Amino acid sequence: QETLREEKQESEGKSDVPQAPPVAVFKLTADFREDTHPQKVNLGVGAYRTDDCQPWVLPVVKKVERLIVEDESLNHEYLPILGLPEFRSAASKVALGDDSPAIKENRVGGVQALGGTGALRIGAEFLRRWYNSVNNTATPVYVSAPTWENHNGVFADAGFKDIRPYHYWDAAKRGLDLAGFLDDLEKAPEHSIFVLHACAHNPTGTDPTQEEWKQIAEVMKRRKLYVFFDSAYQGFASGSLEKDAWAIRFFVSEGFELFIAQSFSKNFGLYNERVGNLTVVSKDNENLTRVLSQMEKIVRTTWSNPPSQGARIVSKTLNSPELFEEWKGNVKTMADRVLLMRDQLKAKLQALGTPGTWDHITQQIGMFSFTGLTPKQVEYMIKEKHVYLMASGRINMCGLTSKNIDYVAQSIHEAVTKVQ
Amino acid sequence: MSRPGSSPDEKGVSQNGDPGGHRPVFTNTLNAAVSPETRLLSAFARDTQARKVDLAGREYYSEEGRPFELRLVGKIKQQLSTDPTLHPEYPSSLGLREFTRKATEVALGKHSRAIVENRVLGVQTPGFTAAVRLGAELLRCWYDPSACWCGPVYLSSPCDDSLTGIFQAAGIQEIPSAHYPTGADLSQSQWAVITRLITRRRLFPFLLLPTQALCCGDMERDAWPVQHCASLGMELLCAQSFSHCFGLYGEAVGHLLCVLKQNSVLLPVRSQADKIVRSLWARPSVGGAHVVTTVLSNSAHLVEWQGEVKHIVERCMLIRAILREKMRLLGTPGRWDHLTQQGGLFCCTGLNGEQVEFLSNRRRVYLLPGGCLNVSAINCRNLDYIAESIHLALTSSL
């Protein structure tokens, strides 16, 4: 029987490969593409769109790309394994601030990575190998409920066996479940790892206030929990780099050693160049050196040398005062458009007399909003109105434009009044 | 410094405004052993001798001694930077479709039966290492889904020192090394013997193609082993890199080719590859892939590109021939035919560890640890010195 099975496999090759489950947000986009309805709207995928619903190449990025292409002195070698040095330092600086004491004390380092995902993965791989003893795959990793769906996959594939949710979204009050969050922090085993969204929480758009962050930090310090920030929207959330980095800088000022997975996909519009950085804040330079040496080993067996194009663009921009100012302006443009859409959507829903409160639309921040629509209402939106959003009720504010906002508001109104 | 750090204060929670005050979190993290390549690079960088020569680099160096951009590539990058149809969108996790199609064609040949029968999966990856890593992860996950397979994976000896690490990172534990003619490539008849053995013993071939076109100056010829295996109906993985043949080192343009036995497994395998990619790097970067696709899709570009590649290959061949001649003139002991019998960017000199050390310590000529050197780094300014140095390494009593 063994031989028969072997022979069958031999002729058919890999026949028992299971199909992996599809990713919800990509299926949504695929369905949207196939839809022929003239008024269809895609409020699914997480990328910025202009008021004409087009992707936007930031003017500063266009300018810098030209500079790079025309630069004859450019080095065409492989980048070092840890990445472009001037990119790494500039990226960490933008997160921690120009006058960061941690940077001055030489205990901050960076690892260039393939986007925010790459940064998370390298950080996760390192923690699995070296955190809380050696190769301790049992250390609990906590991710918010809900969170970006890929957080689970990244930590699981890095080897962690125990990934748990922490209370975050309170559906009833449509806001942060601070009590539940703090309770989970108190009850988590010491040394557990917590993945925190630095700002513009994905998918809820709900961030803790400064006071709430202080409470969170207090418990985390006391319970010796490890802080792993996911920072994909700095500047994009409020329009201010400093404001969006407040939580990160606060934790650093409280003496935490921590990781920050940074993505420049959204705030630079460089989705396709995969520009990320894992910022490491250590106790001192000696610790930092050892940590980076192990990070290098991990990178060497993952992608070895990161791609240079995106890192060069970001580095040139951040390291030039003029270009930096121009970039901040571009970022504010994007953030302002999102804020405008939030204001308008709320105003329109209130004007239509849509039942319920809609304050959360303007209280939430960043690209996403958790509307509070039920799965049935979401289904109605998609099937009857051809407005595509996630089953969770999450919408991408960037999908709204001056041309479709009336239709979307009307659709939400219908969904809420007709469907329970 | 390789001792783990120790924190002087092991007080508990912060007091008197002193943040933390507890032990550093990563106090037990060991200092990673410096990789031989890094050690070489830093030794070379620190070396203050004017005559130092680095023959351990991985890129192709021009006669002027720098990695350079193919003229055509520079032109295309200019064009692409002003192309209004290129939008900054997230690429698919498996990469640009046009790129994977072209990359698959250059490995298998446009009319490969496997392509026609739609049982080939191509995945764009951020570079060669990433392609190998993805292949390793795929093998571990689906080679035998019931048994959580973890090896053995046989690697050639010698091989790039990172290969073992890549397979280990993917969870494969059994990695013995097999004998492989050092540096030399197998002839077609030798491949025929090997493929017969592989088929008979039900082994799985994972082919590495990091410097396609730089061996014979011809994409197709260099990919012959892959095409041969595919034509025999074998399942295989092939990791490709476009760094060398396009001079796109900084752009991380890699590709993993999966040739399957049946079309029915294509979708499941693709979905598994997608799942693995999404938690490793999510999606690849597009810049370099756009350049490669543009060249490979346009016959005029292809001709121009082949011309530039031919120049690179011919220069390498010339350097090998000249070096061999120099060794002969110097009366250096041993046979040096292997210099011209081998092809491509790298050359295995056959020097042993002591001799390699002599070269770096006494002559400031840096080779890769196994005695291999990068042929393109030899130029008219350092040729004599290098030849002399090798001669001394072999004739001085060590």
pLDDT tens for each residue of chain B, 398 residues long: 333 333 333 333 332 223 444 678 888 888 887 777 777 778 888 888 878 899 988 888 999 988 878 899 999 998 988 887 777 778 889 999 999 999 999 999 989 999 999 999 999 999 999 999 999 999 887 666 665 677 788 887 666 778 888 888 888 777 766 544 333 467 788 888 888 888 888 888 899 888 777 766 677 778 888 999 999 999 999 999 998 888 888 899 999 999 999 898 899 899 999 999 999 999 999 999 999 999 999 999 999 998 998 899 899 999 999 999 999 999 998 888 888 887 788 888 889 889 999 999 999 999 987 888 999 999 999 999 999 999 999 998 65
Gap from A290 CA to chain B (nearest CA, Å): 5
Cis peptide before B158 (omega within 30 of 0): yes
- Structural contact between residues A258 and B20, judged by C-beta atoms closer than 8 angstroms: no
Q: Which residues pair with B346 in a beta bridge?
A: B374
**Smallest CA–CA distance from B77 into chain A, residue:** A69
Please tell me the distance from the alpha carbon of residue A238 to that of residue B158, in angstroms, as a whole number. Answer: 54
Candidates A17, A66, A284; nearest CB to B268: A17
To test the contact with chain B by mutation, choose from A290, A291, A296, A330 the residue with the greatest count of B C-beta atoms within 10 A, namely A290
Strands, DSSP E only, in B246-288?
253-259
What is the rounded distance in angstroms from the CA atom of residue B202 to the CA atom of residue B143? 12
How close B305 comes to chain A (CA, Å)? 17
Interface probe with B: pick from A305, A313, A398, most Cβ of B within 10 Å? A305
State the pTM of this model: 0.90
Please name the residue of chain B whose CA is at the shortest distance from the CA of residue A69: B78
- The residue of chain B with its CA nearest to that of A303 is B130
Distance, in Å, from the CA atom of B96 to the CA atom of B99, rounded to the nearest integer, reads 5
pLDDT digits (tens, 9 = 90+) for A57-74: 999 999 999 999 888 888
Range of lowest pLDDT (A161-170, A215-224, B24-33, B381-390): B24-33
A208 prior amide bond cis, ω within 30: no
Closest residue in chain A to residue B127, using alpha carbons only? A303
Instruction: Choose among B19, B168, B272: nearest Cβ to A255.
Output: B19
DSSP state for residue A131 in the 8-state scheme: S
Closest-CA distance, B89 to chain A, in angstroms, reads 5
- Give residue B383's pLDDT: 94
Phi, psi values for residue B290, rounded to 5°: -60, -45
* Cα radius of gyration rounded to whole Å, chain A: 23
Q: Which pLDDT value is given to residue A349? A: 97
Supply the pLDDT for residue A94.
98
Burial B325-341 (b: 16+ CB within 10 A, else e): ebbeebebeeebebbee
Residue A266: active-site member:
yes
Size of interface A-B (CB pairs under 8 A): 258
pLDDT at B180: 40
B331 to chain A, closest Cα gap in Å? 36
Q: What is the pLDDT of residues A9-24, one digit of tens each?
A: 544 445 566 777 777 7
Diameter over CA atoms, chain B? 77
Q: How many CA atoms within 13 Å lie on the side-chain side of B202?
A: 11
pLDDT at residue A44 greater than cutoff 50: yes
A contacts of B268 (beta carbons < 8 Å): 17-20
Of A57, A290, A302, the CB nearest to B280: A302
Interchain CB distance below 8 Å, B19 and A253:
yes
> Does A6 have pLDDT greater than 60?
no
Instruction: Confirm whether the ipTM is greater than 0.95.
Output: no
Please give the Cα distance from B43 to B56 (Å, whole number): 12
A241 close to A264: Cβ distance less than 8 angstroms: no
Give the span between the Cα atoms of B398 and B382, in whole angstroms. 24
Closest by CA to B251, choosing from A299, A84, A266, is: A84
The answer to whether A83 and A110 have CB atoms below 8 angstroms apart is yes
**pLDDT for the residue numbered B290:** 94
Tell me if B247 sits within 8 A of B70, measured CB to CB. yes
Q: Which residue has the tokens 């890095």?
A: A158
Rounded to a whole number of angstroms, the distance from the CA of B78 to the nearest CA of chain A is: 6
The DSSP secondary-structure symbol of B238 reads E
Residues of B in contact with A307 (CB under 8 A): 126-127, 250-252, 285, 287-288
Helix (H) or strand (E) holding A185: helix A178-187
Two tokens, residue A329: 């302006």
Q: What is the pLDDT of residue A3?
A: 52
Could you give the CA distance from residue A340 to residue A358 in angstroms, rounded to a whole number?
15
Q: Is A230 a catalytic residue?
A: yes
Residues of chain B in contact with residue A283, where contact means CB-CB under 8 angstroms, are 5, 7, 20, 24-25
Report the pLDDT averaged over residues A109-120. Answer: 98
Q: Which residues of B touch A281 (CB under 8 A)?
A: none
> Are the Cβ atoms of A77 and B249 closer than 8 angstroms?
yes
A303: nearest CB among B89, B269, B281:
B281
Cα B55 from chain centroid?
Answer: 16
Full DSSP string of A152-173: HHHHHHTT-S-EEEEE-EETTT
> Higher-confidence residue: A374 or B19?
A374
Determine, for residues A304 and B68 on separate chains, whether the beta-carbon distance falls below 8 Å: no
Q: Which of B258, B256, B226, B248 is nearest to B292 (CA)?
A: B248
Q: Which residues pair with A369 in a beta bridge?
A: A395
C-alpha span between B239 and B139 (Å, rounded): 13
Judge if the upstream peptide bond of residue B333 is cis by omega within 30 degrees of 0: no
- In the numeric block, the tokens 């004017």 are attached to B50
- The C-alpha atoms of residue B359 and residue B392 are separated, in whole angstroms, by 9
Distance separating alpha carbons of residues B62 and B58, to the nearest angstrom: 13
Torsion sign (Cα): B322, B325, B330, B332? positive
Strand, helix or coil for residue A303 = coil
